[in-house]
Amino acid sequence: MRRHPALPYTLPFGVFIALLTMNQVVPVPAWLRFFLSMAAILAVSRPALAGRPSRPLQSILLGVAIFVIWVGPDFLFPNWHLFFLFDNGLVGHPFSNTAPVVQNDPIFLVFRILTSVIAVPILEELFWRGWLMRYFIDSHQFQRVALGAFTPFAFWAVAALFASEHGSFWDVGLIAGILFNWWAIRTRNLWDCILAHAVTNGVLAAYVVLGAHWQYWL
């Protein structure tokens, strides 16, 4: 860890992205994605996850607000993400890759939700706010940069890259990235960002499953 200080922040994210990429070629069961992602977090990231949320209530409220922002455009304008800016060969298409055959599979749903609510908030916040924002400020010794430190380039570059990760939903992904970045700067606490992110994903998962809005699970 001393030789590779970025590893606790980057390895779980790398494992998760590798599993998603592999899933395009060979199906990777939802339970395996969850357990491998959590194994990576537990193996290398525990030192980076010391502490607890400093503003739990505000983080929960922020998470709910980001959920509203995420689904709001499609709720108000049902064809919003069918507009060519969000539905093209570059950013992808706003249609779910969740096969109908597994949409009623309780095992799939449990592990898909656990991945969204537990694994993804931890590994993404470790990567985006815990590492990349600090790396953009000092690429040689990011660990000397305080969590929540601000420069315009680091802020907007991470927000833009976070948006690009979300394909056809890059517009709401950009707003979410801005808000998560702002919360990291405001709280200087990674767990507040993880909690907010987990709430957003949890409420979104309920919205997807209960309302059959599968397009949000890309």
Residue 42: predicted pLDDT: 97
* Tokens representing residue 49 in the block: 């996850």
- Maximum CA pair distance of the chain? 51
DSSP letter for each residue of 94-130: S---S-GGGTT-HHHHHHHHHIIIIIHHHHHHIIIII
pLDDT in tens, 101-111: 899 999 999 99
CB-based contact 12:123 (threshold 8 Å): yes
Q: How far apart are CA 88 and CA 94, in angstroms?
A: 9
pLDDT in tens, 171-196: 999 999 999 999 999 999 999 999 99
Q: How far apart are CA 71 and CA 53, in angstroms?
A: 26
pLDDT in tens, 32-58: 999 999 999 999 999 999 999 999 999
CB-based contact 60:182 (threshold 8 Å): no
User: Model pTM greater than 0.85?
Assistant: yes
Residue 51: predicted pLDDT: 95
Residue 98: predicted pLDDT: 87
pLDDT > 70: percent of the chain: 99
Q: How many CB atoms lie within 10 A of CB 39?
A: 13
Q: How many CB atoms lie within 10 A of CB 88?
A: 11
Residue 3: predicted pLDDT: 66
CB-based contact 115:34 (threshold 8 Å): yes
Low-confidence ranges of the chain (pLDDT < 50): none
Residue 96: predicted pLDDT: 86
Residue 2: predicted pLDDT: 52
Residue 161: predicted pLDDT: 98
Q: How far apart are CA 128 and CA 43, in angstroms?
A: 19
CA atoms within 13 A on the CB side of 56: 3
From residue 151, how far is each of 30, 134, 141, 155, 157 by CA, in Å? Answer: 37, 9, 16, 6, 10
Residue 17: predicted pLDDT: 97
CB-based contact 142:5 (threshold 8 Å): yes
